[in-house]
Amino acid sequence: MRRTTFEIKENLFAIGLMTNDEMGTLFPLIEELNPGMQRNIFEERLKEMKANKFNCIGIWHNDTLVACCGFWILIKFYNGKHVEPDNVGVLEQYRNFGLGKILMDFLHDHAKKLNCNYSELNAYVSNYKAHKFYFKDNYKVLGFHFQKTL
């Protein structure tokens, strides 16, 4: 897959859309976002997610995946075609490099090319760092995310 290289703090990185095969390397990031995630559960869910058009952007440093931003392209009555970022993560040792902003800018540019009107996401109530990050990127709170165990 075609990747674009960039440099931050004398480190060379590459960013691009991940292939289906590359998505298997997401596990360390997904495990960091979801403590206790078991590899077999990750693999089962990823297989089904890919079948339902899940995509992912990756950032690599020395061929190691260090950041990711999964996403879905959706259409809803109230806002039309939009992108939904999901499982946005940066390995802890790579935080404060600005990689989250680079991921989101790449995603937004990609979504515009696909004629998306909005970006809409969920963030855990207790994830204050994410709230601050998304507010800084001009996201606004529109409602509540509800969940019910079935």
Digit-coded pLDDT (tens) for 38-91: 999 999 999 999 999 999 999 999 999 999 999 999 999 999 999 999 999 999
Cβ 82 vs Cβ 43: under 8 Å: no
Residue 51, exposed/middle/buried by CB under 10 A (0-12, 13-18, 19+)?
exposed
- Per-residue pLDDT for 11 more than 80? yes
- Per-residue pLDDT for 141 more than 90? yes
Q: Considering the entire predicted model, what is its pTM? A: 0.93
> What does the block give as tokens for 54?
């899940």
Q: What is the CATH number of domain 4-136?
A: 3.40.630.30
What residues form DSSP beta bridges with 81? 75
pLDDT band at 2 (very low <50, low <70, confident <90, very high): confident
- Residue 14 identity (one-letter amino acid): A
> What does the block give as tokens for 56?
């992912």
Q: CA quadruple 13, 14, 20, 21: dihedral positive or negative?
A: negative
Mean pLDDT of 133-145: 93
Mean pLDDT of 13-25: 95
Cβ 84 vs Cβ 71: under 8 Å: yes
pLDDT value of position 1 = 62
